[in-house]
Amino acid sequence: MRICHVITRLIIGGAQENTVLTCRGLTERGHEVTLISGPETGPEGSLWDKAEVAGCALVRVNSLRRAVRPISDWRAARELRRLFLQLQPDVVHTHSSKAGILGRWAAAMAGVPVVVHTIHGMSFNRTQGRLTQLVYRGLERSAARYTTSFVAVADAMVNQAVAAGIAPRQQFVTIRSGVETERFTPDANARRHCRKEWGVRDDNVVVGTIARLFPNKGHAEILLALASAIVRQPKLRFVWIGDGTLRHQFEKWLKDGELGEFVRMVGLVPTEKVPYCINGFDVMLHASRWEGLPRAVVQGLLSEVPAVSFDNDGAPEVVRTGETGILVPLGDINGLSDALVRLAGDAELRRDMGRRGRELCRKEFDWHNMVEQLEQLYGRLLASKPSAGSSGG
């Protein structure tokens, strides 16, 4: 099959990692794959280096930008249509809000037989104002007219999209966002060396967070929770991996609250070093206010690190209270603190949850399974259009 994947930007993030792995896997399976993206990166870091070794063709569309800019967006849509007419793909698969809306329209105008869109997280969500939500909901409903099938990374995304009237339920399929499971395994040596780098003792309980330092990623809530948790459990230490626009603000809050000695802000780390860092954690803390399905939690569980998370969106599909971690009602700061104190005081419970989490995630989130399921989906969709496509799957 000839397949084009389109995403707004290749920053370090779950949707981008998913897309690059998909392109790599489909290329390895013999398909002709082109990855199209805008040129923007940011303080989150870039995945262009990973894309360049994925084996697929790469195209940068300079007018494809994250910010809403009508003239630039129109140019991007026209450029995407031109590319699709040139490449004649059997399948166009879009990711992220901007690329999803422009890319699906362009694919339809170019007569692409099958158009697929992945919902990594809803473009309209609880963190936005009512007007913004209404606008994005309207745009998504419009783009759905050009969509053959939707892929969701979590059942929660399907439920939310159907409830919002985006499309009928039968138009959706859940395919878990794949992870290189072989890279995430418990490693005692990595744990020892990593914790030494961070300056934490063997008896410290390290709570790790992997997230961009941006609004709504949960760091403000974590700061409130850790202050009370440390009073009750002084062994707790916190490590934040990631960078972003709010870094200086958080550093100031830590200094003003005299909490700097308890929190290590590591900043960006190369993606290949993430498994090494996770081995230094005892607990993975995920406090984002919205998420499709928390990829960092899956990576932590694969490394036998249990999770504490707000109960929202796709989190309950991997964080199962009493089994793989502890879920806390969204926004419940005291609940976050209590969960951290509980896990910090029970090493055996952490070990049991970690083992169960690894067992859950090893097969369900393996990236090879994701690629195989997508390949089968494309084949089924093309087979339902007998006059379309160069290979019919």
Say if residue 165 is in the same domain as residue 243.
no
Say if residue 370 is in the same domain as residue 306.
no
How far is 88 from 106, CA to CA, in rounded Å? 12
Say if residue 115 is in the same domain as residue 214.
no
Regions of the chain where pLDDT drops below 70? 386-393
The pLDDT of residue 387: 60
31-55: string of b/e by CB count within 10 Å (b at 16+)? bbbbbbbbebebbbbbbbebbeebe
The pLDDT of residue 386: 67
Residue 390 lies in a domain: no
Residue 388 lies in a domain: no
Nearest 5°: the CA angle 192, 193, 194 is: 95
Which residues does residue 4 pair with via DSSP β-bridges, in sequence order? 34, 92
Whole-structure pTM value: 0.89
Domain CATH for 107 = 3.40.50.2000
Say if residue 32 is in the same domain as residue 7.
yes
Say if residue 13 is in the same domain as residue 153.
yes
The pLDDT of residue 336: 96
Say if residue 188 is in the same domain as residue 299.
yes
- Please choose, from the candidates 346, 342, 205, 222, the residue with its C-alpha nearest in 3D space to the C-alpha of residue 281: 205
Say if residue 307 is in the same domain as residue 378.
no
Say if residue 333 is in the same domain as residue 255.
yes
The number of angstroms, rounded, from the C-alpha of 35 to the middle of its chain's C-alpha atoms is: 18
Say if residue 67 is in the same domain as residue 189.
no
> Range of 37's domain?
2-178+366-383
218: left (phi over 0), alpha (psi -120 to 50) or beta: left
The pLDDT of residue 215: 85
The pLDDT of residue 389: 45
The pLDDT of residue 390: 46
Q: How many domains is the chain built from? A: 2
Say if residue 55 is in the same domain as residue 174.
yes
Say if residue 245 is in the same domain as residue 145.
no
Token duo for residue 126: 């609880």
Write the DSSP string, 117-159.
EEESS-SS-TTS-HHHHHHHHHHHHHHHTT-SEEEESSHHHHH
Say if residue 372 is in the same domain as residue 338.
no
Token duo for residue 238: 């916190």
Residue 224 lies in a domain: yes
Residue 45 lies in a domain: yes
Whether 231 contacts 199, CB under 8 Å: no
